[in-house]
Amino acid sequence: MKLAIYPGTFDPVTNGHLDILKRAASVFGTVYIAVAQNMHKNPLFTTEERIAMIQNCTSQYPNVKIDHFKGLAVEYAQKVGASVIIRGLRAISDFDYEFQMALMNRHMNDNIDTVFFMPHEDYTYLSSSTVREIVRFGGNVSEFVPGIVKNELIRKLRSNE
C-alpha cells in the first residue's frame, strides 16, 4: 500500500483541501497531511492551531495522519517513506507553479512522484487567503470551511472589534 504526503500551508484548511484529501485517501494506503512550518507566507494560524483544526475535520479517515515539517517536501517524504506527493490543481493559474515544483522535486528525488487531484468544481475558486479576506470583512464562509474553522477565523480576525 502506497504512502503519500499532502504538504501545504493549510492556513486554514478549507473544504477544497478536504475534497482533495478525501480523493487521495481513497486511492493511497496512508496519507500524511504535512503542515509546512517554514513558509514565507507569515501564516495567520500557528502550526499547532492549523494541525488542531485539521485533526478535528479528518477524524473520519482511519488512513490519514497529521504531521508537520520544515524544509523540503521531498526530504520529508523520504524521511517518512512516502513515494508520492499529493497536490491540488484548481485551475490553469495553479498549473505553472505546481508544474515547476513537481519537476524540481522530481529532479531532487526521482523516486518520488507528484500526483495531482482536481477538486469538485464548487471549490475551484476557493483558497485559504480568500476565506481569510471574507472573514476579515465580515462575510460568511460557512459553505467554504468546516464550522470549527469558521469559528477559529472569527475568533482570530474579529477579536479586536
- Joined together, the cell numbers standing for residue 136 give 476579515
Q: Which three cell numbers stand for residue 111?
A: 523516486
Among 30, 58, 105, 128, binds ligand ADP (CB under 6 A): 128
Q: Does 12 bind ligand ADP (CB under 6 A)?
A: no
- Whichever of 8 and 146 has its CB closer to ligand ADP, that residue is 8
* Max CA separation in the chain (angstroms): 50
Give least dist CB 90 to ligand ADP, A.
5
Task: Give the span between the Cα atoms of 111 and 74, in whole angstroms.
Answer: 10
- Shortest approach of ligand ADP to residue 160 CB, angstroms? 25
In the numeric block, the cell 487567503 is attached to 129
Closest CB 79 distance from ligand ADP, rounded Å: 18
Q: Does 68 participate in catalysis according to the annotation?
A: no
Applying CB under 6 A, does 28 fall inside the site for ligand ADP?
no
Stretch of 53-61, 119-127, 134-142, 150-158 contacting ligand ADP, by CB under 6 A: 119-127
Confirm whether 41 is a catalytic residue: yes
In the complex, minimum distance from the CB of residue 161 to ligand ADP, in angstroms, rounded to a whole number:
26
The answer to whether the CB of 129 falls within 8 A of the CB of 90 is no
Cα–Cα distance measured from residue 130 to residue 15, given in angstroms and rounded to the nearest whole number: 13
- The Cα–Cα gap between 116 and 54 comes to 20
Q: How many CA atoms lie within 13 A of 43 on its CB side?
A: 20
Considering only residues 42 to 81 of the shown chain, the ones binding ligand ADP according to CB under 6 A are: none
Options 17, 50, 132, 150; binder of ligand ADP; rule CB under 6 A: 17
> Is 159 among the catalytic positions?
no
Measured CA to CA in angstroms, residue 33 lies from 9, 27, 38, 92, 135 at distances of 10, 15, 15, 24, 25
Q: Given the rule CB under 6 A, which residues bind ligand ADP? A: 8-10, 14, 16-17, 20, 39, 87-88, 90, 94, 119, 123, 126-128
Active site residues: 17, 41, 90, 128
